[in-house]
Amino acid sequence: METITVHDLKKKKENEDSFFLLDVREYHEYLVSNIDGHHIPYNDLENRLSEIDEHKDKDVVVMCRSGNTSKDAASILIDSGFENIFSLEGGMKKWAKEIDPSLPVI
């Protein structure tokens, strides 16, 4: 598993690069603010892997609130056969601080 900075993720989004963004925050956090990632809460991830199985061949960026849970989620994906996994450094907190300060983060 590698990490990706919020600035590199922003470039990927702006360039419309082919990647899959997975948001593993809790439902209430996702409702408050999100950046259009596919939402599967961390605690549901192992039981819902079939929903994202088609993305095994893509770069997958995993994000959470602060960057810690996304590392654990990335490990689950790697153990399930995903290969190009990136954890978003600093998570949504850092995205809101450095990229889009208008987003609230709880």
Phi/psi of residue 72, each to 5°? -65, -40
pLDDT score, position 101: 96
pLDDT score, position 86: 98
Q: Per-residue confidence at 83, pLDDT binned at 50, 70, 90?
A: very high
- The two most distant CA atoms of the chain are separated, in Å, by 36
Q: Please state the domain extents for the chain.
A: 2-98
Could you report the per-residue pLDDT of 16-73, keeping only the tens digit for each?
999 999 999 999 999 999 999 999 999 999 999 999 999 999 999 999 999 999 999 9
CA dist 81 and 5 (Å) reads: 23
Could you report the per-residue pLDDT of 2-16, keeping only the tens digit for each?
999 999 999 999 999
Q: At what angle do helices 91-98 and 6-14 cross, to 10 degrees?
A: 70
Of 3.40.50.12280, 3.40.50.620, 3.90.550.10, 3.40.250.10, which CATH number belongs to 2-98?
3.40.250.10
Q: Report the predicted TM-score, pTM, of the whole model to 2 decimal places.
A: 0.96
